[in-house]
Amino acid sequence: MKKITINDVARHAGVSKKTISRVLNEEPNVSIETRKKVEESFIELGYRPNPQARGLASSQSYLIGLLYPSQSNSYVSNIQKGALERCRAEGFHLVIYPEDHENENLISQFESNLYSSNLDGIILTPPFSDMTKLLDLLKEREIPVVRVGALSSLDKIPSVISNDAEASYEMCRYLISIGHHKIAFIKGNLDHGATEQRFSGYNKALKEAGIPIIEQFIQQGNFSFESGEDCARRLLSLKTPPSAIFASNDYMAAGIVKVAKQKGISIPHDLTVTGFDNAPASRYIWPSLTTIKQPITEMAIEATRMLIRIIRKKPLDRLSVTIRNELIVRESSAPAKT
């Protein structure tokens, strides 16, 4: 298949190569009609801009960084998918940085990466999106940044979030509506902003319903399958165990399902189990998990769109964008036994 060049686009659009270059580099002296005609030619011909060539012409690198925890999971892969999709559509390259958020030398090491990479901008994911020292470094280096899933609200730093507290509240209201009053909750990593948001939704729903919060029903996990197993063993060994367990992610919920099966506890007839994230595991285990679907890919697409607008010195519609979560009811939940 022949590679499409600027010459091909110029001929198709009926304009000069210089005009194509002006459109690619977002120069202002191009009419709306001409710009639209050129962009339509890009789509019709399947033309992909060359970031290196554009970078030489405009002093941009056309590189966007994505910083995420080195412990990979479906959350990370969906973030990558969304960011990559938008980068490709806009003629940018995505540079990924898996980092250990507990590394004491994180800031100095990442600063070295910044010197060598010449990024146009960067997307931060939890827990990096709330790291003050990291945000200060990026501000000092004048590198545009957009935060995904940030807990704190910071002036003038754009962010894309989903309301985890509201989604957790909705899940608990659902459990209460089908007769559950003995609802346990498993927390995730304490340094992850979503952990307290999800717990606050649980707390609010139970208090509103007049259901006492039992200390033993609150367990500390770390978002891993193994921590879900450990918490499940403790909860299911109680003299009065819960009738429903809400894990703050799907991997921990999968660990609960495993332990329940080992103990001969039927899900959902004897125990309802719910999760959060709508990870692939939630659909593949049996029974499939009732969970909260996070629009992670959509959040990454929006964050990348916002960042590219900042790089191109275009105004944002708003500094903070919220994309709603969705309750997904599957086979792991059922009305409480009476």
From first to last of the 338 residues of the chain, give the pLDDT tens digit: 567 788 888 899 899 888 887 787 766 678 878 888 888 888 788 776 665 555 545 567 889 999 988 666 677 888 999 999 999 888 899 998 877 777 777 888 777 777 677 889 999 998 888 888 889 988 888 899 999 988 777 668 999 999 999 999 999 999 999 999 999 999 998 877 788 899 999 999 999 999 999 999 999 999 999 999 999 999 999 999 999 999 999 999 999 999 999 999 999 999 999 999 999 889 999 999 999 999 999 999 999 999 999 999 999 989 999 999 999 999 999 999 87
pTM confidence score: 0.74
Domain ranges of the chain: 1-41, 58-162+296-324, 164-293
* 8 A C-beta contact, residue 199 and residue 169: no
* 8 A C-beta contact, residue 62 and residue 93: yes
Tokens standing for residue 21: 């270059």
Superfamily for domain range 164-293: Response regulator (3.40.50.2300)
Fold classified for 58-162+296-324:
Rossmann fold (3.40.50)
Tokens standing for residue 107: 């800031």
Residue 246, classed as helix, strand or coil, is strand
CA distance 231 to 257: 11
Quick one: which of 249, 232, 244, 122 has its CA closest to 194? 249
CA distance 221 to 198: 13
Tokens standing for residue 290: 């009732």
Q: Which pLDDT belongs to residue 28? A: 67
Fold classified for 1-41:
434 Repressor (Amino-terminal Domain) (1.10.260)
Q: Which pLDDT belongs to residue 45? A: 84
Tokens standing for residue 30: 């191009």
Long-range contacts of residues 55-62, Cβ cutoff 8 Å, at least 24 apart: 57/21, 57/25, 58/25, 60/120, 60/311, 61/117, 61/118, 61/119, 61/120, 62/91, 62/92, 62/93, 62/120
* 8 A C-beta contact, residue 51 and residue 92: yes
Phi then psi for residue 310, to 5 deg, are: -65, -45
What does the longest C-alpha to C-alpha distance in the chain come to?
79
Phi then psi for residue 222, to 5 deg, are: -140, 25
Tokens standing for residue 322: 């919220």
Query: Do 1-41 and 58-162+296-324 agree at the fold level?
Result: no
CA distance 149 to 161: 5
| Cα 315 off chain centre by | 23
Q: Which pLDDT belongs to residue 164? A: 93
- The length of the chain in residues reads 338
Give the ranges where 209-249 is alpha helix by DSSP (H).
Answer: 225-236
CA distance 298 to 318: 17
* 8 A C-beta contact, residue 189 and residue 196: no
Quick one: which of 28, 25, 33 has its CA closest to 6? 25
Q: Which pLDDT belongs to residue 89? A: 87
Tokens standing for residue 158: 């754009």
